[in-house]
Structure 1
């Protein structure tokens, strides 16, 4: 199918003097829905923080997403922007790295946790369960923007993206929305609500890191590499390269999670959980 025939526009609302883009709304939706789900998780026994901490966490997480995501994109994907530093601030044009966002959010969460005497690893477990919302909305926004398309293909659901040339291509944005958003959320949902994973510090965030890393490595096989990064000498794309540390870190956290299990006293609620 032709992308143009779908009638999609990057702009959700055009007021003339102000344009509200789907990309911006995707970030807002991910943060708001993620915050709502986090408050739901915190109602369960043994929560690592109270509702008031969650409200502070959203602020630090948002700063981490924006600063970490943008800086990592510039350094890893578009170092040419450094020649004109003011372009770094042009967020409305797109250009964010999820890997950088993860680092930024982690720094913000550790700062918030230590400032309040909380267990930063258990907080990461809870936040990890909420991140797939943002990934899902963000990848849908990438598709609406007609960006980050896949490699040429002849599959029946291929899409011809105007800015990518005449060849039909994989809608890799939708693959990522499904794997990083729906599938990863479902796995974390099961572990949180149907197992005792939340009482093993690091297991949930480890599962997230492993799941995202594997998903990204697989999708990169059919996703068009970023310009200038098509043929890295070690055989991996930049997205795959940045995912390898996530996979290794996720495996380590999962493998060592049981050893960190201990009596969990509630920060919110009244029930202690052994």
Structure 2
């Protein structure tokens, strides 16, 4: 008998209603990012209100500037996340269906694209407001994990981005034909790794807890770029590891490439998620080495 967990009886919509003949819904995925951004904002406000945490006793930016930055960050997440998904994962499909590029309510966001969107927003805002780039990057790193945590939980609720088949007792029987297509015998249920929850724990809970501890207990903000470097490295390592049990996007899977490797040579290789994450790890390690050398 299969030892696995049934998928919880919960839908992607918090609630829905019909108005003037059109259906409207508030989805868990949208709410996750809104609440996650608000939590991150409040954590950062708490840090800004304690000048002793910052280098020279001066916070990186004012609360008024933070409110303006929030708008830039949201635009970077949405615009970069959607364009990243389009370019990294399904360019051929969207080239044939360009009108669907803007249909973000249908799903399809890339963390790496959102990350690049946020980087661009930070670069513009830093130059426009005359704020030190390193301290601004540290600020965003501190505020990011809550949205990652709740976003991955929302992925689980949506029954998307599940993991590879597993016989471990905490495997989850995700609904849907695609999730149950494991090449098994007829009527045999397929349990998969709840890779969304692995990422929620590693990228959101554990990494977020580490960053908060470094800021409020170890005063890491006295060393610009060190917190951002820790975030880059921590997120990169977590995502790289989870990719080993995460089901790749269908367009990368073929008869000769069942693991869905985007780069493979002789049966070994890397998934698209790992390829996109490697630069984050390398940049994070390089920044950690630079900040440590500067401090020493």
TM-score with structure 1 setting the length = 0.92
Question: What residue in structure 1 maps to residue 82 of structure 2?
Answer: 70
Alpha-carbon distance between aligned partners in 1 of 2:63 and 2:294, rounded to the nearest angstrom: 24
TM-score with structure 2 setting the length = 0.85
- The alignment status of 1:132 with 2:141, answered yes or no, reads no
Alpha-carbon distance between aligned partners in 2 of 1:59 and 1:233, rounded to the nearest angstrom: 36
91-100 or 37-46, larger mean C-alpha shift: 37-46
**Number of paired residues?**
259
Question: What residue in structure 2 maps to residue 120 of structure 1?
Answer: 133
- Report the secondary structure of 1:156's partner residue: coil
Question: What residue in structure 2 maps to residue 224 of structure 1?
Answer: 247
The partner residue of 1:179 within 202, 217, 226 is 202
- The alignment status of 1:98 with 2:111, answered yes or no, reads yes
- Report the secondary structure of 1:249's partner residue: helix
Root-mean-square deviation over aligned CA pairs: 1.2
Q: CA deviation at 1:190?
A: 1.5
Alpha-carbon distance between aligned partners in 1 of 2:137 and 2:84, rounded to the nearest angstrom: 20
Alpha-carbon distance between aligned partners in 1 of 2:145 and 2:221, rounded to the nearest angstrom: 17
- Report the secondary structure of 2:263's partner residue: coil
1:5-44 matches, cutoff 5 A: 6-16=8-18, 17-44=23-50
- The alignment status of 1:108 with 2:121, answered yes or no, reads yes
The partner residue of 1:59 within 71, 91, 107 is 71
Q: CA deviation at 1:260?
A: 5.2
Question: Greater relative contact order: 1 or 2 (C-alpha under 8 angstroms, separation 6 or more)?
Answer: 1
Q: Does structure 2 retain, via aligned residues, the 8 Å contact 1:60–1:108?
A: yes
Q: CA deviation at 1:113?
A: 1.4
Q: Does structure 2 retain, via aligned residues, the 8 Å contact 1:217–1:239?
A: yes
- The alignment status of 1:151 with 2:185, answered yes or no, reads no
Greater per-residue strand proportion: 2
Q: CA deviation at 1:259?
A: 5.0
Question: What residue in structure 1 maps to residue 256 of structure 2?
Answer: none
- Report the secondary structure of 1:216's partner residue: helix
Alpha-carbon distance between aligned partners in 1 of 2:25 and 2:145, rounded to the nearest angstrom: 26
Structure 1 stretches of at least 4 aligned residues deviating more than 2 Å after TM superposition: 231-234, 258-261
1:118-267 matches, cutoff 5 A: 118-163=131-176, 164-165=179-180, 166-229=189-252, 230-234=260-264, 235-258=269-292
- Report the secondary structure of 1:152's partner residue: coil
Q: CA deviation at 1:183?
A: 0.4
Alpha-carbon distance between aligned partners in 2 of 1:69 and 1:92, rounded to the nearest angstrom: 13
Q: Does structure 1 retain, via aligned residues, the 8 Å contact 2:263–2:271?
A: no
Unaligned runs of 5+ in 1: 262-274
Question: What residue in structure 2 maps to residue 265 of structure 1?
Answer: none
Which digits, 9 at most, give the CA deviation of each residue in 1:44-92, with x for residues without a partner? 2131111111001000000000011110111011111122111111111
Alpha-carbon distance between aligned partners in 1 of 2:294 and 2:95, rounded to the nearest angstrom: 42
Which digits, 9 at most, give the CA deviation of each residue in 1:188-245, with x for residues without a partner? 1121112232111110000000000000011011110111221323300000110000
Q: Does structure 2 retain, via aligned residues, the 8 Å contact 1:201–1:260?
A: no
Alpha-carbon distance between aligned partners in 2 of 1:196 and 1:150, rounded to the nearest angstrom: 37
- Greater radius of gyration (CA): 2
- Report the secondary structure of 1:41's partner residue: helix
